[in-house]
Amino acid sequence: MKKYQLGEFEEYVLLMVGVLYGEAYGVSIKEEIEKRLKRKVSIGALQSALRRMEEKGFIISELGETTKARGGKRKRYFKITALGKKALDYNMETRMSLYNEIQDVALQFKLC
């Protein structure tokens, strides 16, 4: 179903928003993806993905309090919506359904 479709990177970002619940903002999401997945992430690509997912209704954002450490700039925190949870569920179910259909013989490899 197209309305739940997520790209690979979007799925990782959405998962990290859930993992970091309450502390999911741009830099923390970027750092967590890089640490856990050993994958470099540009802040521009991350911001684009977050905007796209917010437009699709998968996440919502709100501004945090101002801090002196950030020169008065506020962090934008993200949370998964019910639709975002459905998108994650749909992706997981689709992957598991396909994986479970792989015949055992297809997973028997010969060493060369």
CB atoms within 10 A of CB 33: 20
Tokens of 106: 């297809």
The per-residue pLDDT for 8 is 92
- Angle, CA of 7, 13 and 19, to the nearest 5°: 135
Q: Is 69 exposed, middle or buried (0-12, 13-18, 19+ CB in 10 A)?
A: exposed
In tens digits, the chain (112 residues) has pLDDT values of: 567 788 899 999 999 999 999 999 999 999 999 999 999 999 999 999 999 999 999 999 999 887 777 667 888 999 999 999 999 999 999 999 988 888 776 667 766 6
Model's pTM, two decimal places?
0.82
The per-residue pLDDT for 18 is 96
Q: Please state, in angstroms and rounded to a whole number, the distance separating the CA atoms of residues 88 and 78.
A: 16
